[in-house]
Structure 1
Amino acid sequence: MAKALAREMRLPPLPTVRDLLRLYKIRAAKKLSQNFLLDPRIIERIVKVSGNLNGAHVCEVGPGPGGITRALLSAGVEKILVIEKDARFLPTLEMLREAAGGRIHIIMGDVLSYNMENAFPKDMKKAWEEETPAIHLIGNLPFSVSTPLIIRWMKSVSAQNSAWTYGRVPMTLTFQKEVAERICAPVSSPQRCRLSVMCQYLCDVKHKFNIQGGSFIPAPKVDVGVVHLTPRKSPIISLPFSLIEKVVRCTFHMRQKECHHSFATLIPPALHQTLIPKIFAIAEVDPTTRPFQLTLEEFDRLCHAYNLLVEKVPEIGTYEYRAPRKERISGEDLKPQLEKLFFL
């Protein structure tokens, strides 16, 4: 009963977000890539596409002056954990917390280093195979943090740690429009890249809508895309995240060339002629395919073929083409081991 009353409680009259920015003389910090979204219609739309939030627990990343936070409270959210790096917003968030009757918990810190493993009530946890829990991650992300944050969160989704100890917690996030398009890019799209594969093999991704840059203060030179990501019950590729990331990163190293060229960055030079044709044969993938034309299923088979090789000859897994030349192995001394492998 208490929960139901909390959800129905309306906020008392408050200064507008625009007025609060003037009152506290807060301007967007360029070094933090800040852009404030003040249009209530757009804010409500972001909240709406996040799904059913009535009675849910939400972690909002980068609330700033609290525009989206207000809309979340109006949507019936039970509790909101806000993570804000900029201490200038603490007074505006504390004002909102008092008005919301304790439904907001404020963390001042960097979301990139914040572990959400104990951020929500334990009784909200659901098994991974079940429906998504009543927990959501929402944020109007600064451009400078959006890509590293989504990769970090995909790693946590893969390991089912941090927020994802609670189950398949969905995310609704803003990105620079081009980044949003890359995350959701289908096979053969000009925008398909490493980010597309790393998000899509773990999550069902949907590009919900775009926001014109002029809707923000200050207005960025680019538009913004809103993306909704829901972790899959079973990932398309069932291997360690670090191995998949390495294979995908190296494959997209030469995006426009046939993928056997870029795959060479995974293999010591002395072994190219022997191993690269074998890997593509085992994976049943055409080596003349361009990286952006590879399906998730083809990436799955390539990752497993590479993993099979690394399990037999671990030294190959340590090869890193980006390492200083003196530290790179040639692979010449590995040839005797390769000759004994049954699949070669």
Structure 2
Amino acid sequence: MPSSKSSGKLWDTLPALSDLLRQNNLYADKKLGQHFLLDRNITDKIASLAAPLNGVHVAEIGPGPGGLTRSLLDADAAEVLAIEMDERFANLNTDMAPVTGGRLRVLQADALAVNIAKELPAPRKIVANLPYNVGTKMLVNWITADPLFWDQMVLMFQKEVAERVCAAPGESAYGRLAILCQSVASAHIAFEIPARAFTPPPKVDSAVVVLRPLEQPFPKLKMLGELTQAAFGQRRKMLRASLKSFAKRHDLDLIAWLESCGIDPQARPETLQVSEFQTLVETVK
């Protein structure tokens, strides 16, 4: 159990992040998709979206030089588990741990292989500036966990990915990712962050998404994933064409099945509501 909190604000007592990077000759590794957020105003804003954090155990993925880590601890998180693959930044954050009152634990590991539910007691939240190259894969892992182990997620993605998570039917970004996420959680974009706010700047803007579990998450995510993969794999085709292979696999009369669910076989997948995809899944034996 973490010990009592340290006094004061870490942002006010620790060296500036830019100084830390320069003094330790640290730089972003493109292979790991690293782009550092050094602006305290932004990291504090991200941490505030996860509030209240008093008594909450937070998993942070890819802390880098530790700006968001500082903001989470300054926002009174009971504990922050900083999961960092890069040994350089794992060591840098470990050096910060002694001044956090025992509330910071650094784990050098690939976050895709970490069982957060085992590493942290409840209540748990995940707050992270996710690496661009694996952010979507991490999100899918967390929303398909059974049972869900998190109480809230505040995640930064490329703006395009954030839009795909939160998209509504009829929007160009609407597809498989939106349906899976919105079958488990409410999701909205809290704010956008321009590329120039990062060091080094990425080629695209970013956005912060807030996800909270639904009271009754949809239970059949595996089949929902299979269905939406078939539907959106050929998104410009009508359902009567794109779902042929799915119907055959599950011994369904495709047209009768769609019509029994009140869905026009000539409809295109991007026009269906999340609930309509769920109804299709629920009627598969």
TM range (shorter): over 0.9
AA matched with 2:259: A
Partner of 2:140: 151
AA matched with 2:179: V
Q: Greater helix share, 1 or 2?
A: 1
Q: CA deviation at 1:7?
A: 6.5
Paired with 2:147 and 2:239, the residues of 1 have a C-alpha distance of 31
Q: CA deviation at 1:9?
A: 4.7
Partner of 1:323: none
Q: Higher relative contact order by CA 8 Å / sep ≥ 6: 1 or 2?
A: 2
Q: CA deviation at 1:256?
A: 1.9
Q: CA deviation at 1:173?
A: 0.4
Identity of aligned residues (%): 34
Partner of 2:26: 26
For the aligned residue pairs, the C-alpha RMSD in angstroms reads 1.9
SS state of the match for residue 118, structure 1? helix
Paired with 2:163 and 2:6, the residues of 1 have a C-alpha distance of 35
AA matched with 1:14: L
Partner of 1:160: 147
Q: Assess if the C-alpha contact under 8 Å between 1:7 and 1:55 holds in 2.
A: no
Deviations 1:22-58 (A, max 9, x none): 1111111111111001111111111111221133211
Partner of 1:207: 189
Q: Assess if the C-alpha contact under 8 Å between 2:35 and 2:202 holds in 1.
A: yes
1:285 maps to which of 263, 272, 280:
263
2:246 is aligned with 1:266:
yes
2:163 is aligned with 1:181:
yes
Stretches of structure 1 lacking an aligned partner (at least 5 in a row): 125-132, 309-344
Q: Assess if the C-alpha contact under 8 Å between 1:285 and 1:302 holds in 2.
A: no
Partner of 1:36: 36
Paired with 1:141 and 1:180, the residues of 2 have a C-alpha distance of 11
Q: CA deviation at 1:101?
A: 2.3
More divergent stretch after superposition (11-20 vs 190-199) = 11-20
Q: Assess if the C-alpha contact under 8 Å between 2:5 and 2:102 holds in 1.
A: no
Q: Give 1:48-87 correspondences, 5 Å limit.
A: 48-87=48-87
Paired with 2:96 and 2:202, the residues of 1 have a C-alpha distance of 27
Deviations 1:95-147 (A, max 9, x none): 210111211111110111111222223xx4xxxxxxxx4x2100001110111
Q: Assess if the C-alpha contact under 8 Å between 2:90 and 2:107 holds in 1.
A: no
Q: CA deviation at 1:8?
A: 5.1
Paired with 1:79 and 1:69, the residues of 2 have a C-alpha distance of 10
Q: Give 1:115-264 correspondences, 5 Å limit.
A: 115-121=115-121, 124=122, 133=123, 135-156=124-145, 159-160=146-147, 164=149, 168-235=150-217, 237-239=218-220, 241-264=221-244
Q: Assess if the C-alpha contact under 8 Å between 1:7 and 1:78 holds in 2.
A: no
Paired with 2:77 and 2:6, the residues of 1 have a C-alpha distance of 6
The count of aligned residue pairs is 282
Paired with 1:215 and 1:50, the residues of 2 have a C-alpha distance of 21
SS state of the match for residue 13, structure 2? coil
AA matched with 1:263: L
Q: Assess if the C-alpha contact under 8 Å between 1:194 and 1:252 holds in 2.
A: yes
Q: Assess if the C-alpha contact under 8 Å between 1:81 and 1:104 holds in 2.
A: yes
Bigger-Rg structure (1/2): 1
Q: CA deviation at 1:187?
A: 1.4
Paired with 2:62 and 2:202, the residues of 1 have a C-alpha distance of 17
Q: Assess if the C-alpha contact under 8 Å between 1:36 and 1:217 holds in 2.
A: yes
Paired with 2:76 and 2:84, the residues of 1 have a C-alpha distance of 22
AA matched with 1:192: Y
Paired with 1:198 and 1:89, the residues of 2 have a C-alpha distance of 33
Paired with 1:49 and 1:10, the residues of 2 have a C-alpha distance of 18
Q: CA deviation at 1:257?
A: 2.0
Report the TM-score, using the length of structure 2 for normalisation: 0.93
SS state of the match for residue 117, structure 2? coil
